[in-house]
């Protein structure tokens, strides 16, 4: 597996942002109301970011063989990389979608309900950025150092 590229994450965010904008506009035309953004979404994405960050801390301790930690199975590291990649992509997709919805809602800023929706979307976008950073951090923690005796095909898990 190759490491996650920032350009790929930006592409995911831009495409999902366009989808979010279009979805919000279509929802407005067809349902004659705004696409609702719930406060449970930033809480959920924040819990994801926090759990991945905590996982990274625990995994790093075990990978470095700190006292009081058990050695880690290489398969767990490989699975952690997969989860890290999924987390960073999910954060980019959710964040992009929500920013697209926010862009569609900005015209109604003077309405208190819309302001609350924009605020919920902004908090979700920040939590999504934290999820992306946590996923990238976990992925980086799982890299094999280049000076190790690992075969070249296993340079990075």
Let me know if residue 82 belongs to a domain. Answer: yes
Terminal Cα-to-Cα distance of the chain (whole angstroms): 6
Tens digit of pLDDT for each residue in 55-102? Answer: 999 898 888 878 887 888 889 999 999 999 999 999 999 999 999 999
Query: What is the extent of the structural domain holding 105?
Result: 6-144
Tens digit of pLDDT for each residue in 18-44? Answer: 999 999 999 989 988 888 899 999 999
Let me know if residue 155 belongs to a domain. Answer: no
Tens digit of pLDDT for each residue in 99-148? Answer: 999 999 998 888 888 899 999 999 999 999 999 999 999 999 988 766 65
Let me know if residue 154 belongs to a domain. Answer: no
Indicate the angle between helix axes 6-31 and 74-105, nearest 10 degrees. Answer: 40
Domain count, the chain: 1
Let me know if residue 135 belongs to a domain. Answer: yes
Question: What pTM was estimated for this model as a whole?
Answer: 0.86
Residue 121: count other Cβ atoms within 10 Å of its Cβ.
26
Show the CA angle centred on residue 13, arms to residues 86 and 80, nearest 5°.
15
Let me know if residue 24 belongs to a domain. Answer: yes
Let me know if residue 22 belongs to a domain. Answer: yes
Let me know if residue 151 belongs to a domain. Answer: no
3-state secondary structure (DSSP) of residue 4: coil
Let me know if residue 152 belongs to a domain. Answer: no
């Amino acid at each position: 597996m190759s490491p996650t590229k920032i350009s790929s994450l930006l592409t995911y965010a831009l495409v999902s942002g366009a989808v979010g904008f279009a979805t919000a506009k279509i929802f407005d035309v067809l349902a004659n109301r705004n696409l609702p953004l719930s406060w449970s979404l930033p809480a959920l994405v924040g819990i994801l970011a926090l759990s991945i960050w905590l996982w990274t801390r625990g995994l790093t301790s075990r990978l470095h063989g700190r006292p009081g930690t058990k050695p880690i199975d290489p398969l767990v590291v490989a699975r952690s990389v997969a989860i890290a990649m999924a987390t960073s992509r999910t954060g980019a997709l959710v964040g992009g979608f929500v920013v697209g919805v926010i862009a569609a809602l900005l015209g109604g800023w003077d309405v208190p309900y819309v302001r609350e929706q924009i605020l919920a979307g902004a908090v979700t976008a920040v939590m999504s950025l934290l999820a992306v950073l946590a996923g990238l951090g976990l992925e980086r923690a799982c890299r094999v150092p280049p000076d190790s005796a690992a075969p070249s095909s296993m340079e990075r898990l």
